[in-house]
């Protein structure tokens, strides 16, 4: 009776975790943060499972915690596995007793097994019910530790519990493993759709929507230096399209995008906001550094985008400020004025104003 109750309680905890899994996976937090939070949630599930154990000997307890820790590795990944293990192991250390070493060993073992299931290169493309059965069986390998270590009355008390834990691991893996997999795939598709909505389909650079979203995240952070925005316009691009065709023009746009992306730093943002207009966000840098990046972009476009005997040049306008925030519209307006001044001066150049309007 006590063993059956253990299984029912564990299934109830897994049902609650499914809700938490869905909610957290739907958040727009950074991937590492989501995985850490989910790992803590699964660790708390393991702790709650330890609150109602079956005692087979003094200080030796049996419960359903290992499925929670195994799931953390399988459906969240290494970060989730580590956080779940830390939370669960801390609780087991607090509980103490003669079975502490056995309990911790089984938790580490199932954490490793779960993480192996979660590795992309080892993970099957689709989790089927049969694979979930094998997952549950692999998590149940930890039961062998009890068979190897326990002796006498402790072993006699342990043996009748094994079928119930085995049933819980397999049944829980099939029912909730498939639910976790579905929720994970659904959340991943949703994030991909959101990402695609912020990308230019031709060049894979950010579009105006993506630029609007990223601007406040990138340009309003506390920084040591200033912030810059570059507005880049390909010179005489309409003539290129009219002369060589739109397919050729598309190749030029893709080549220009690659040239810009190869000229900026890892944390900079490249967006295509119009037919032949690009924007680069430059957080946390000096004015001289922004100027160098702008010139590097102009030169790279000239080198990379010119094909089939046609030279492609670009006019670059800049906006730079050192103190306080500036709206995207204000930064674009300032850079637009500089860019048209570059056009007026003969194109294929960068204009970087010495002073910025406030």
pLDDT in tens, 212-254: 988 887 777 766 788 999 999 999 888 888 888 888 889 899 9
* Nearest alpha carbon to residue 180 among 21, 8, 46, 68: 21
The confidence score (pLDDT) of residue 125 equals 75
Q: Which residues pair with 89 in a beta bridge?
A: none
How sure is the predictor about 28, in pLDDT bands with cuts at 50, 70 and 90?
A: confident
Contact of 291 with 350, CB cutoff 8 Å:
yes
Task: Record the tokens describing residue 155, joined without a space.
Answer: 């072993």
Q: Which residues pair with 278 in a beta bridge?
A: 232, 272
Region of 325 (left: φ > 0; alpha: ψ -120 to 50; beta: rest) is beta
Lowest mean pLDDT among 63-77, 113-127, 328-342: 113-127
Rounded to whole angstroms, how far apart are CA atoms 46 and 64? 7
Q: How far is CA 167 from CA 14, 137, 175, in A?
A: 14, 9, 12
Contact of 353 with 338, CB cutoff 8 Å:
yes
How sure is the predictor about 160, in pLDDT bands with cuts at 50, 70 and 90?
A: very high
The confidence score (pLDDT) of residue 305 equals 59
- Map residue 252 onto helix, strand or coil: helix
Rounded to whole angstroms, how far apart are CA atoms 250 and 274? 13
Q: Where in the chain is the domain with CATH 1.10.1760?
A: 2-197
How sure is the predictor about 159, in pLDDT bands with cuts at 50, 70 and 90?
A: very high
> Does residue 350 register a pLDDT over 50?
yes
DSSP H helices, the chain, are 2-25, 31-50, 65-75, 78-95, 100-118, 129-139, 143-149, 152-158, 162-197, 208-219, 237-244, 246-261, 287-304, 328-344
The confidence score (pLDDT) of residue 357 equals 47
Q: How far apart are the first and last CA of the chain?
A: 76
Q: Enter the DSSP assignment of 245.
A: -
Mean pLDDT of 353-357: 60
Cβ neighbors of 221 (< 8 A, separation 6 or more) are 283, 284
Mean pLDDT for the chain?
Answer: 89
Task: Record the tokens describing residue 52, joined without a space.
Answer: 């109602």
The confidence score (pLDDT) of residue 191 equals 67
Q: Say which residue the tokens 């979660």 belong to.
A: 118
Q: Where in the chain is the domain with CATH 3.30.70.270?
A: 208-351
* Nearest alpha carbon to residue 154 among 61, 58, 56: 56
- Give me the percent of the chain exceeding a pLDDT of 90: 62
Mean pLDDT of 191-219: 83
The confidence score (pLDDT) of residue 193 equals 66
Task: Record the tokens describing residue 130, joined without a space.
Answer: 């049969």
Neighbours of 267 (CB within 10 A): 12
> Does residue 334 register a pLDDT over 70?
yes
* Nearest alpha carbon to residue 276 among 234, 333, 216: 234
Q: Does domain 208-351 have CATH number 3.30.70.270?
A: yes
Please name the fold of domain 2-197: Arp2/3 complex 21 kDa subunit ARPC3 (1.10.1760)
Lowest mean pLDDT among 54-58, 128-132, 184-188, 225-229: 184-188
Rounded to whole angstroms, how far apart are CA atoms 271 and 273? 6
Query: Computed from CA positions of residues 125, 131, 134, 135, in that sequence, does the dihedral angle turn out positive or negative?
Result: positive
Task: Record the tokens describing residue 179, joined without a space.
Answer: 């639910």
Lowest mean pLDDT among 7-11, 77-81, 195-199, 288-292: 195-199
């Amino acid at each position: 009776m006590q063993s059956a109750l253990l299984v029912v309680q564990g299934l109830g905890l897994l049902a609650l975790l499914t809700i938490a899994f869905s909610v957290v996976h739907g958040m727009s937090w950074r991937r590492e943060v989501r995985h850490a939070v989910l790992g803590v949630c699964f660790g708390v599930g393991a702790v709650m499972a330890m609150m109602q154990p079956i005692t087979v000997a003094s200080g030796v307890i049996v419960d359903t915690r290992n499925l929670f820790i195994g799931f953390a590795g399988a459906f969240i990944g290494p970060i989730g596995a580590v956080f779940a293990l830390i939370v669960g192991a801390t609780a087991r250390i607090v509980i103490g007793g003669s079975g502490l070493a056995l309990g911790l060993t089984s938790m580490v073992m199932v954490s490793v097994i779960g993480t192996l299931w979660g590795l992309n290169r080892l993970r099957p493309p689709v989790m089927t019910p049969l694979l979930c059965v094998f997952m549950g069986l692999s998590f149940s390998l930890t039961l062998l530790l009890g068979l190897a270590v326990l002796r006498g009355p402790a072993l006699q008390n342990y043996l009748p519990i094994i079928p119930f834990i085995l049933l819980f691991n397999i049944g829980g893996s099939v029912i909730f493993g498939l639910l976790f997999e579905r929720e994970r795939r659904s959340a991943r598709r949703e994030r991909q759709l959101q990402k695609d909505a912020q990308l230019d389909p031709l060049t894979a650079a950010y579009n105006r929507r993506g630029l609007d979203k990223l601007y406040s995240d990138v340009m309003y952070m506390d920084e040591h230096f200033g912030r810059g925005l570059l507005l880049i316009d390909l010179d005489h691009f309409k003539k290129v399209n009219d002369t060589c065709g739109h397919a050729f023009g598309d190749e030029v746009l893709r080549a220009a995008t690659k040239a810009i992306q190869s000229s900026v730093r890892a944390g900079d943002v490249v967006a295509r906001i119009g037919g032949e207009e690009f924007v680069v966000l430059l957080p946390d840098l000096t004015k001289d550094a922004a100027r160098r990046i702008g010139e590097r972009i102009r030169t790279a476009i000239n080198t990379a985008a010119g094909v089939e005997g046609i030279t492609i040049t670009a006019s670059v306008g800049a906006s730079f400020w050192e103190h306080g925030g500036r709206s995207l519209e204000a930064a674009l307006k300032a850079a637009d004025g500089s860019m048209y001044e570059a056009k007026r001066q003969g194109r294929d150049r960068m204009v970087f104003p010495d002073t910025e309007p406030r």
